[in-house]
Amino acid sequence: MLIAQISDTHVTRAGVLASGIVDTAAMLADCVAAVRALSTPPDLALLTGDLVDAGAPEEYARLRALLAPLGLPLLAIPGNHDAREPFRDAFGDQPWMPREGFLQFVHEVDSSHGPLRILGLDTLVAGESRGELCETRLDWLEHALAAAPDTAALIALHHPPFLTGLREMDEIGLSGRDAFADIVARHSQVKLILCGHLHRNIQTTVGGCRTATCPSPAHQIALDFRPGSPARFCMEPPGFMLHRWTGEAFVSHTAVVGDYPGPFAF
């Protein structure tokens, strides 16, 4: 099974550039074309938050139109730039979308390598950039994992449950991350944790489980570890990730969007 992870698309209204600079819609269209051009088509697309820039219904309508050529089943969780009710309305046709409350789900996949459960978590704090896993959301996760202890699981959430060293981004990071790590440590069936928010590929372990953030198909967060350095973005090569489930583990690849020389024979 092959999962395409696309994150932090920040789609705006027509005629508006993100941060006054980035044509995120055009860059998402390029990303969709790159996914469609893969020699092995993914089985589904997992969208890990900040799908639009201002949480407006017209942005979500534009997002869905841009994603339509993928022709793939979609799973999506919100980020801090999303708005819960417009997000719910935009994906209301999806069977995994809850009709009320937090935007959390369990999606079960019967792949050729055995069953897999994909759990989506809602870390959104309305009107704020930071993320949160409150007691209610953590309890939901605990019970969802306990319901199927023998089935491999992937957890997706927007805000990464770890500190990255990028100070400004860590300050708008995730509260509840220690409790989240404790839950993961108790459930060995969790094979991979996927996040967005950082607009970069960053990897570590949380609760003993491999955890990764995804690059954006648009702009990337500048790599700057200096204390007090401001959060800035740069136009490094855009990308997305591919996660191949083998039945025992996930093998992850970062794909770069764009035209480059090659491939050449060795």
Provide the number of structural domains found in the chain: 1
**By residue range, what is the domain housing residue 101?**
2-256
Give per-residue pLDDT as tens, 66-83. 999 999 999 999 999 999
Residue 56 belongs to a domain: yes
Residue 116 belongs to a domain: yes
Give per-residue pLDDT as tens, 156-195. 999 999 999 998 899 999 999 999 999 999 999 999 999 9
The pLDDT assigned to 17 comes to 97
Beta carbons of 260 and 30 less than 8 angstroms apart: no
Q: Could you tell me which residues come within 8 angstroms of residue 107 by beta carbon, excluding any fewer than 6 positions away?
A: 75, 96, 117, 118, 119, 120
Mean of per-residue pLDDT scores for the chain: 96
The pLDDT assigned to 88 comes to 98
The pLDDT assigned to 189 comes to 98
Residue holding tokens 């055995």?
114
Residue 186 phi, psi dihedral angles, 5° rounding: -85, -10
Residue 170 structure tokens: 């860590």
Share of the chain above pLDDT 70, in %: 100
The pLDDT assigned to 216 comes to 98
Residue 133 belongs to a domain: yes
Neighbour-count burial for 159-189, b at 16+ CB within 10 Å, e otherwise? bbbbebebbebeeebbbbbebbbebbeebee
Residue 261 belongs to a domain: no
Give per-residue pLDDT as tens, 117-157. 999 999 999 999 999 999 999 999 999 999 999 999 999 99
Q: Is the pLDDT of residue 230 over 90?
A: no
**Residue 122 belongs to a domain with what CATH number?**
3.60.21.10
Fill in the DSSP letter of residue 127. T
Q: For 240-248, what is the mean pLDDT?
A: 96
Give per-residue pLDDT as tens, 93-115. 999 999 999 999 999 998 888 89
Beta carbons of 227 and 167 less than 8 angstroms apart: yes
Fill in the DSSP letter of residue 54. S
Residue 265 belongs to a domain: no
User: How far does CA 102 lie from the centroid of its chain?
Assistant: 16
The pLDDT assigned to 29 comes to 98
